Chain A
Amino acid sequence: MAEAGGVRVMIVDDHPVWRDGVRADLQAAGGVTVVAEAADGGDAIQRARETMPDLILMDLNLPTVSGTEAIRRIVEESPHVKVLVLSASAAEADVLEAIKVGASGYLLKNSTAEELAAAVRRVHGGEPVFSSSLAALVLGEFRRMSRAGPSNEPGLTARETEVLRLVAKGYTYREIAERLVISVKTVQNHVQNILTKLQLHKRYELMRYAIQRGLDRAPE
């Protein structure tokens, strides 16, 4: 039996064998209680509402409601829930989208049990989990935005770009803190700010789209 208490986790994946494996890994690592499992996006939204987990391990390729859409709706309903995307085969655009709608981290399914347990702890502790490849993706996304022309939306500061580049190079937050002679907490704050800017940008994008289409006006 799993020990009671610890991080309350929900596992969302359409493969039962995979869910069993993740559950076993997490329980072996300790400090985690799996409070719910869901096999599709719609189920995930429902179960999240019922069990109010602290953290959701989420696959992106799901039946009924997509993982990204489920994340968007769950985070909208309960902003305190942390979402860690755990995917074997998500396209880059989907991963980026998941981060934009509120996921706090992304791990490939080929990560080891220790990496998964560490990521769960870090995300639960409020620390965004950025793999180096996700950092490169985000770096590219901000470049794309700045290429799209000047805007009033927040771009990355020089320091944030530097931090993101070091994450992309594979440095841990601790190593980055040492190199830049700042505290680990400051590095985490930078990464969190980068995430927030990305999510903000998504909101601006939606707003602009709505205004263009006249969706901001009440129907006549």
Chain B
Amino acid sequence: MTPSPQERPYGGSEAERARATLSLGILVLRWATVAWTAVLAAATLSELRHPAVAWVVVAAEAAWTAWLTAARPAWSSPVLAADLALAVVLLALAGYANEPGRLAAGDRPVFSTAYPVVAALTWGACRGVRGGLAAGATLGLALLAARVLNGAGPEELRTAQALGLASGAVNFLLAGFGVGLLARLLDRSAAQLRVALDESVRARERAARLAERESLARQIHDSVLQSLAMVHKRGRELAAAEQVPGSELVGLAELAAGQERALRMLVLRPPGQPPQGRAALRDALEELAAATPGLRVTVSAVGPLWLPGGHVAELRAAVRQALDNVAGHAGTGAASVFAEQDGAEVVVSVRDDGAGFAYDEAALAAAGKMGLLWSVKGRVEQLGGTMRVDSTPGRGTEVELRVPVPGEVADRG
């Protein structure tokens, strides 16, 4: 069974929630670094070669972060690329804005190195360890560009100060790597959660199926197993007997046939949901057919035919009497029962291909031969219905009962 739509996204939404928290955290960090950049820019303004550039940097960071906050865009490749490009430009601008050689001195914090770290974090969060490392490496190169813009010559870069540069780059790499690792862990635990939840859903379904099987087994146990045991035991007894009366064998066969019908009804048809106060005429007729000894009764019904409980009971009794009539007078071993809804009426027909007779109510009544048919007719008329008998000597008999049904008859399966 497939899990319902409500159950399916457990693990997925768990991972999404964790990622949303991480993304929100990074956004908060963005604002903090914007503020920190502004503070540093203000504090070191007097030492700057191009103070206006510092304010452009702060404004650019604030504008980009404001847009990210307001639009909350998906971290698609273009957005990620724009974020990284901005960070690279900001880093490079720091070299341009500061007095020459200021970056190499390394004794005072440089105003624009904080914000680019966030870009490395974002790449790590969205593109995993590799994305984080790639962004970190790019920012490391941008740091190198900043040094060059700050007036550092190739010789200077070859000296021990290269170590200082490297440590700056390592910070970016670590930031990207760390968050990338975190994102991977989040995904992995969400996947584990999903597996665990799926397993628990499956276990619940298994338990429900087992319960259903058990209740079915209980229903089957009494009648079917008992009958099988009976057939088994009697079969052996009869095999050992010198002479086997045919009636004994027929009895066994009927026992098996009855159970076969009962089992088929139980297993093959999904139980319907009866409308309030109604019962399925089809089920009642099939049960009746299984319980009619000496007559092979085939029931064909168009749909379950949900009727008021009283109607089902009366129609069942009427059909039973009609079948008794077949068994008693038709001289045949088989009968067919057909039921369907015809407009606002339910039609039930009981048919046999037996002896048949000349149907003339007045003559039959005078001769006192109406017998069971009268009571069938009486029951049907009490329900406001009619009985029609169609019979010809030698051509079998069809008794058709038509009964109006209050409300709609649900013949849907």
Docked Cα-Cα span, A133 to B265, in Å, equals: 13
Please judge, given known A-B contacts A110-B260, A136-B338, whether A91 and B298 are in contact too, CB under 8 Å.
no
Interfacial chain A residues near B336, Cβ < 8 Å: 132, 169-170
Whether B340 is near chain A, meaning CB under 8 Å from some CB there, is yes
- A-B interface contact total, Cβ < 8 Å: 62
Decide if A89 touches B300 in the complex (CB within 8 Å).
Answer: no
User: Interface size of B by Cβ–Cβ distance < 8 Å?
Assistant: 25
User: Shortest Cβ distance from A18 into chain B, in angstroms?
Assistant: 14
Whether B269 is near chain A, meaning CB under 8 Å from some CB there, is yes
Query: Nearest A residue to B398 by beta-carbon distance?
Result: A169
Please judge, given known A-B contacts A132-B338, A133-B298, A170-B338, whether A143 and B268 are in contact too, CB under 8 Å.
no
Whether A139 is near chain B, meaning CB under 8 Å from some CB there, is yes
Partner of A171, one of B260, B340, B351: B351
Please judge, given known A-B contacts A89-B268, A91-B268, A133-B299, whether A143 and B338 are in contact too, CB under 8 Å.
no
Please judge, given known A-B contacts A91-B268, A170-B336, whether A143 and B300 are in contact too, CB under 8 Å.
no
Partner of B338, one of A92, A110, A131, A168: A168
Decide if A143 touches B353 in the complex (CB within 8 Å).
Answer: no
Whether A126 is near chain B, meaning CB under 8 Å from some CB there, is no
Mark A134-167 against chain B: 1 for CB-CB distance below 8 A, else 0: 0111011001100000000000000000000100
Whether A175 is near chain B, meaning CB under 8 Å from some CB there, is yes
Decide if A92 touches B268 in the complex (CB within 8 Å).
Answer: yes
With most chain B CB atoms within 10 A of its CB, the pick from A89, A169, A170 is A170
Interfacial chain B residues near A169, Cβ < 8 Å: 300, 336, 338, 349, 351, 398
Decide if B411 touches A92 in the complex (CB within 8 Å).
Answer: no
Query: Nearest A residue to B297 by beta-carbon distance?
Result: A170
Q: Which applies to chain B's interface (DSSP): helix, strand, loop or mixed?
A: mixed
Docked Cα-Cα span, A88 to B336, in Å, equals: 19
Decide if A136 touches B353 in the complex (CB within 8 Å).
Answer: no
User: Shortest Cβ distance from A148 into chain B, in angstroms?
Assistant: 11
Query: Nearest A residue to B286 by beta-carbon distance?
Result: A133
Docked Cα-Cα span, A187 to B13, in Å, equals: 62
Docked Cα-Cα span, A89 to B349, in Å, equals: 26
Whether B158 is near chain A, meaning CB under 8 Å from some CB there, is no
Interfacial chain B residues near A172, Cβ < 8 Å: 353
Whether B365 is near chain A, meaning CB under 8 Å from some CB there, is no
267-317 of chain B: CB within 8 A of chain A: 267-269, 298-303
Interfacial chain A residues near B3, Cβ < 8 Å: none
Docked Cα-Cα span, A144 to B302, in Å, equals: 10
Whether B393 is near chain A, meaning CB under 8 Å from some CB there, is no
Whether A4 is near chain B, meaning CB under 8 Å from some CB there, is no
Whether A29 is near chain B, meaning CB under 8 Å from some CB there, is no
Interfacial chain A residues near B396, Cβ < 8 Å: 175
Decide if A139 touches B351 in the complex (CB within 8 Å).
Answer: no
Decide if A110 touches B257 in the complex (CB within 8 Å).
Answer: yes
Query: Nearest B residue to A109 by beta-carbon distance?
Result: B260
Interfacial chain B residues near A168, Cβ < 8 Å: 300, 302, 338, 340
Partner-A contacts on B (CB < 8 A): 257, 260, 264, 267-269, 298-303, 335-336, 338, 340, 349, 351, 353, 395-396, 398, 411-413
Starting from the known contacts A110-B260, A170-B338, A172-B353, 9 additional A-B residue pairs (CB-CB under 8 Å) come to A89-B264, A91-B269, A92-B268, A131-B300, A133-B299, A136-B301, A143-B303, A170-B300, A170-B335
